[in-house]
Amino acid sequence: MIDDRPAASGQRSSSRLRSYRAEAVVLKRHDFGEADRIVVLFTRQRGKLRAVAKGVRRTTSRLAGHLELFTRVELQMARGRELDIVTQAEIRDSFRGLREDLTRTSHAYFVAELADVLTEEQAEQPEVFDLLTATFGALETALDPRLVVDHYQIKLLDLVGFRPSLSTCLLCREELRPGMNAFSPFLGGALCPRCGPGEASARPISSDVLKVLRHLQRSGLPGTVRLRLSEALAREVGRTLRELSERHTECHLRSPDLIARLRDADTRL
């Protein structure tokens, strides 16, 4: 365990009362002041929280290499007045492969961005922590990172209370059959051919897209699904999930734009 904060002997008793341990994944970070860094963490014990790593940007800091993006770490934390303070850190899984390939890196950014915008601070959600670590692990070796992220996205929406309705019509509750169904991100799911035309927020959705979404929703953790999708079908699945997430977060997600630019650049090569 790396400790970057000296403590006077007279303060040890009180500091123990203010400290706690947490297993965390680093979602985001940005520089603060001359040498500090703010980190956004998703912890198993306390959900999402922001903390400060003091002096981490100094060349002598022993914490810096332990707080890389997407890293799973064991932390010792001290309660602060506004932000808690990272005092010790030890890497449990670096997920190094996510930072060695630009495509995997861009998808990992999307995973982290979704966890950041779809979860509340200080809300204990160990199942989201497990989903995050499973997804980062799957992304390291996945042949199709896009499928892993789509699977993660629909699972995360479910865990945070935004499970989309994909098998029955949101309005009349009848079972959806193959055909000209519709989808409304605003309402949060699919509509039958009779109800769809009357909903201004709905657009047509193909039976194949619904089948893929249902399969991902029913399946286990990301990395366990093996599907070969056409480019057109994969794009439509991703578009549908992105619309859902942006509807619930009421913000524009930036990582999908980066992923799309990288994919288009690869296509032109």
What class does CATH assign to 97-268? mainly alpha
In this structure, CATH architecture of domain 2-94: Beta Barrel (2.40)
pLDDT at residue 5 in the model: 53
CB 14 within 8 A of CB 55: no
pLDDT over threshold 50, residue 13: no
Can you give the pLDDT at residue 23?
97
Q: How many angstroms separate the CA atoms of 111 and 109, rounded? A: 5
Confidence of residue 260 (pLDDT cuts 50, 70, 90): confident
Which alpha helices (H) appear in 142-230, and where do they start and end? 145-159, 207-218
pLDDT at position 18 is: 83
Q: Please state the rounded mean pLDDT for residues 46-50.
A: 95
What pLDDT is stored for residue 177 in this prediction? Answer: 94
Domain boundaries, the chain: 2-94, 97-268
In Å, how far are 1, 104, 107, 141 from 137, measured between CA atoms? 23, 11, 12, 8
Beta strands in 44-178 (DSSP E): 47-53, 72-78, 84-93
Reply yes or no on whether the pLDDT at 224 is more than 60: yes
Cα→Cα distances 91→2, 69, 72, 215, Å: 9, 12, 6, 34
Longest alpha-carbon distance in the chain: 73
pTM above 0.85, yes or no: yes
